[in-house]
Amino acid sequence: RDQLATLTLSNAAIWERERSRTEVPAPWIIKAPYFALCTFLDLVFPEDRPIQRFWFLESVARMPYFSYNTMLTLYELLGWWRRSSELRRVHFAEEWNEYHHLLIMESLGGDALWRDRFLAQHAALAYYLVLIALWLISPALAYNFSELIEAHAVDTYAQFADENKEKLRTLPAPRIARAYYENDDMYLFDEFQTARPRSSRRPRVRTLHDTFCAIRDDENEHVATMKECQMEDSAMADVN
């Protein structure tokens, strides 16, 4: 824990990464709240509190998949859409993945402060309700917003892993990370890997640096899935 307290995360470097990569196309009705949310994170979590920031992010990151499955279930109940079983399974797999990211951050002490827990739990509830409302306007807009957030998560984890590489390589991977990424039964792990062949990705985590690189790559897969969900000719039904 003493070593974790010395880790840093440069907000300016994260924004520089975002400017240097291919921009996620999105209307301003989506980009405005996205930039507001990212600015909020920069203000609330200083550069010397990266683990707490990650715990907050992972607490909120599960909400889109909860909201999408809520609306898909409602659509099926109303008889509007009866081909969503595969999509609901993909979203559950994504939520299961984010859940383990959350457990990893808890194992690193990211939820130690009451203030952070209070903020994350209320933000998660608000985010869930906002995404349900956004879905009612347009499912594509809801997915587009998640694509923006997941792409920002990729930049954030990538910057953290590079910025603290030497220290992270001296620290062991949390037990929950090894149990998740190196288990013989990779439960639902392949179901959200929509941008690569099935069973082609098997992370090996020995150090904390390996762990954050694996999470970064998970978030990149979520970006690809959210992009796929916005396509009218999506092959999501044939994801495997």
Give me the domains of the chain, ranges plus CATH numbers.
28-229 (1.20.1260.140)
- pLDDT tens, position by position, 159-218: 999 999 999 999 999 999 999 999 888 888 888 887 777 777 899 999 999 999 999 999
CB 181 within 8 A of CB 97: no
From residue 47, alpha-carbon distances to 26, 119, 155, 163 in Å are 28, 18, 15, 12
CB 200 within 8 A of CB 160: no
Q: What is the pLDDT of residues 118-162, one digit of tens each?
A: 999 999 999 999 999 999 999 999 999 999 999 999 999 999 999
Phi, psi angles (nearest 5°) of residue 54: -65, -40
pTM: 0.92
Largest Cα span, the chain: 55
